[in-house]
Structures are given as C-alpha cells and as structure tokens.
A and B are shown apart, each in its own frame.
Chain A
Amino acid sequence: MFFQQLVNGLVSGCVYALIALGYTMIFGILGIVNFAQGEIYMFGAFGAVTVYAATGSLALAILAGLGAACLVGVLLERFAFRPLRGTHPLVPLISAIGASILLSSLARFFFGPEDRPFPHEFSAATYTVFSAHITGMQLTIMGISAALMTALWLFLTMSRHGKAIQAVAMDSDAARLSGINVNRAYVATFLSGSALSGVAGMLMAVYYNATSPTMGLLPGLKAFSAAILGGVGSIPGAIIGGLVLGVAENLGAAYLSSNFKDAFAFIALVLVLIIRPRGIMGQRK
C-alpha cells in the first residue's frame, strides 16, 4: 500500500509541480503572484475537451489545449499585469484574483456548470512494480511531466533567451542596459508557464475523465502552496514542492484520514514554513 500511495502521490505531485513552475517563474521575474494560474490550467483542459468532442482528433485537441492556455496567459500579461507595472505589489495581486474570477465565470458561461468528460479511451494496461499497480496513464503523466521539466530547465540554463529571462529576473534594469527586451522576456515567461499549466490541465482532464469550470481552483491553490513550500522563485523548488505536496496528501489520506486529503497538503505547507520559512530550496534574502 505504501508504494501504491507513493506512486499516486507522485502522479498528482507532477501536476502540482507543472502549475507551480508557472507561479514561481512569474513571481521570479515580475515579483507578482498570478492567482489565475489555476484558470489557465482549466482553459487548457477545456480547449482540449471542446476540440476533441468536435473533431475526435487527439493531436488537434492537444494543440487546442496548449493554444487556449497560452492565449489566456499572454492576455493576462498584457491586460491584467502590464498596465499595473510599477504600482504597489497588492494592486496586481488584486488584479490577478479578479482575472481568476472572470476566467472561471467565462468558462461557466461558455461550457456550462456541469462536468464534462474527456471521452477518449486510453490503454488500460497496468504494470506492477514493488506491489504497486501503475497504469499506463500514470506513466504517461509522469513521463510527460519529467520531459517538460527537463525541457524548461535546458531552455532556461542553456539557451541565450533562457539566460536572458534569468537575467531579467535578477536585475531588470541591468538587463535593459544589456539590450534585453524585458517585455519580451515577460511574455516568454507567461507563455512557458501557461503552456506547462495547460498541459497539466489536459493530463488531469484525461486522468479523472472530467472537466469543470472550477477544476482549477484547488489544484491552483495547492500548486501555489507547492511553490511556496519549495521556495518561491526557485525552479527546482517548485518541482520538489509539488512532489512533496502530492506525496504528503496521498500518504496522509491513506494512513490518517481520507476526509482530510486536501488539508494534508496545507498542513505540509504550514509545517515547512514553521521549520524553514524560505522554503525547501529558497534563497535567503
């Protein structure tokens, strides 16, 4: 049972980590918390479900999900955050909360309030490792997440544009003096963060075979906790934070009480903040 719960925890942890990367990258570069990250996740799922229902093509559905998530991310940057640059940090925070409510209301308006299934049949093959049963879908989620995280890491540390994004995060005025276009760096950050959240949304839509306008709320909050848990602004921190949170809530639900599954994620957050306020990988200021 322990290994089974560990696997289940890692699967949801991967999804939290993908969303947490969006939070942490945007915080790292702009110093703001994008509370609409969970809604980007939801729009990724809805884009994919809608196009899949209309065309029956999985490839088109994935493209649509990615496109919807990226579009929402870029529009947020342009209209919810850019006009507020240079204001008190609380102002973009309120703007983000407003954007989040607007987006989930829009989703309810266009897609209706009820759950929609993701009607795709995936292989039901399971594999047994250390007495844990792992489904093909779980392997897919972990594989895709690991590949995306590696790709993000390589982009940020190896490519010129990735380094430029890091430079803007470290010192935006110095970056401008080096000829880096900071607006482009902000858009690139929102694009990559939104793409990751969109993929997470699609994966969960398939995993639970369900999408709803409020599906982004709880994963969004948990991923936010994961980003803080790992040390906000830190990329490895967001990944570790997501995995720790996913495993903690699954083990808590299995061994203590499944009624409190959601609470365990936040208990883990509180514990880490008491013991290590800057988060697992956070830098001391």
Chain B
Amino acid sequence: MLRLSNIHTYYGNIHAVKGVSIHVNPGEIVALIGGNGAGKSTILRTISGILKPASGTIHFGSDDITSLGPESILRTGIGHVPEGRRLFKGLTVRDNLILGAYSRRDRDRIDDDIDAMERLFPILKKRKGQIAGTLSGGEQQMLAMARAMMARPGVLLLDEPSMGLAPIITAQIYAQIKALNLGEGLSMLLVEQNARLALNLAHRGYVVETGRIVMEGTTGELRESNEIQRAYLGKGYREVWE
C-alpha cells in the first residue's frame, strides 16, 4: 500500500538516502533497522513530505504522493510520529490531540476519537489538562502516537518510539503499538536502533546502512542471519560461528 521506488534524498550536500526501494503491505509492521546516521529517519521524513526526494517515486495506494507537501500527504492517510516526539510542549494534552485532527473535515467525530485514544492510553485521560511539556518521556511518546492517530492514518511512520525510555516503559509502548496494529489493522513503518525490539514486533524488516538497503526479509529470516546477529543483536563471532 505504501511503496518507495529508488528514492534519493539529500540533506544539503549530503547524499543521505541512496536509491531506497521499500514497501509496506496492508496491516503489516515493517521495521527499518540500522545504526546512527544510516538514513532511517531521513527515509521517514521523505515519505511524510518534510524533505523532498531528489529522484524516485513514492506511491500510497494508487496515488503518487512524491511531490505533495506534508499537509496533503497526511490527508492521504500517512501519519508520522517524529523522532524525539516533537509535541506542542506549551499546550495541554487535550489541545495536542485536537491539533492532531486539524486536517480532518469530520469535526463532529473528533471527540469520539479522543475518547478512543484515552481508552488506548488511559494515562492521557488523567493528564488531559496538563501541559504536554511536563509529561514523563513515556507519556510524551504515548501522546505523540495518539496525536498522530487523531488524523486517522492508514499507515503510521514511527521514529524511534523507545528513544530515551526505561526498558519497562518501552515494553509498555511496544505493547500499545502492537495493539494499534492488531486492533485497527494499522500498517506501520517502524524505525528503531534497538534491533531486537523491532525484530520481535515487526513482520518484515529492512537493514539500512549509509543510505542503502543492505538486507531485507521476514523478521524470522533476519533474526537468523549471522550478519544481523553479530552487528545488531550483540552476539559475538564465537557464539555464532562455532
């Protein structure tokens, strides 16, 4: 349903994404794993229109969205939870949710969707009137996901949802991501540095290194790969080879 073909993106003079072709099927969670600066976030920012690709095409369903701006891309149904949450920190939790639905025309349904988000993330109901910047890291991540969900996307781009969170909070966030995927049938493109987490949650994965896809497969296949075990899952050469 989401398909990138031979995408090249530059950050100023830096050629950050070099001919990436990936796709996400309906209902699927796809992980992009790779180290710092591999170009994972740049791929997501190109999909959501914050960055413009120098060449290549992006299709969502039957629409070519390559040249659209972020507001139009969101309206076609691609939500983006950016790296570092990027909440509207001086506004209340509720206002963040309301602004998440800014692009929608069916305004009478927004209150119902806020209720739905508060059922999924009960802590947000308790923090309703609180200023978003005063939430804990885990709560901010939940609010960032709920805000993106308020636009009713068909695909959610998730950038490092575990960043800076304690393992127990990360486990909770990942359970909620899984619930969104199972409950709403939402497709996801997940960027993670923590390869173990991502490969346990996702159905398929791509490995990104210096702006290129160097490996792809089902997460089962990737977990079995010696290369991945050594580079991303922290298993020593010895253990793997002998």
Contacts and interface: CB of A to CB of B under 8 A. Distances in A.
A178 B90 contact: no
A121 interface: no
B149 to A, nearest CB: 11
Candidate in A170, A175, A177 with the most chain B CB atoms within 10 angstroms: A177
Interface in A140-179: 160, 163-164, 166-167, 170-171, 173-179
B50 A163 contact: no
Interface of chain B, main secondary structure:
loop
Nearest to B132: A170
A160 B70 contact: no
Contacts of A164: 99, 102
Interface stretch (B81-89, B181-189, B214-222, B230-238): B81-89
A181 B71 CA distance: 7
A180 interface: yes
A186 to B, nearest CB: 14
Contacts of B69: 176
Q: Is the interface of A mostly helix, strand, loop or mixed?
A: helix
Interface in B30-69: 48-50, 69
A235 to B, nearest CB: 11
B88 to A, nearest CB: 5
Given A177-B80, A178-B151, A179-B102, A166 B88 contact: yes
A166 B91 contact: yes
Nearest to A167: B88
A173 B98 CA distance: 17
B200 interface: no
B75 interface: yes
A66 to B, nearest CB: 28
B102 A178 contact: yes
Interface residues of A, number: 16
B155 to A, nearest CB: 13
A173 B50 contact: yes
Contacts of B88: 166-167, 170-171, 174-175
B75 A179 contact: yes
B48 A177 contact: yes
Contacts, number: 66
A163 B98 contact: yes
B103 interface: yes
B7 interface: no
A177 B50 contact: yes
B74 interface: yes
A173 B51 CA distance: 11
B82 A174 contact: yes
A180 B99 contact: yes
Nearest to B69: A176
B76 to A, nearest CB: 11
Contact of B86 (A163, A171, A179, A181): A171
B28 to A, nearest CB: 22
Given A170-B91, A177-B148, 14 more contacts: A164-B99, A166-B90, A173-B50, A174-B82, A174-B86, A175-B99, A177-B74, A177-B80, A178-B74, A178-B102, A178-B103, A179-B71, A179-B103, A180-B102
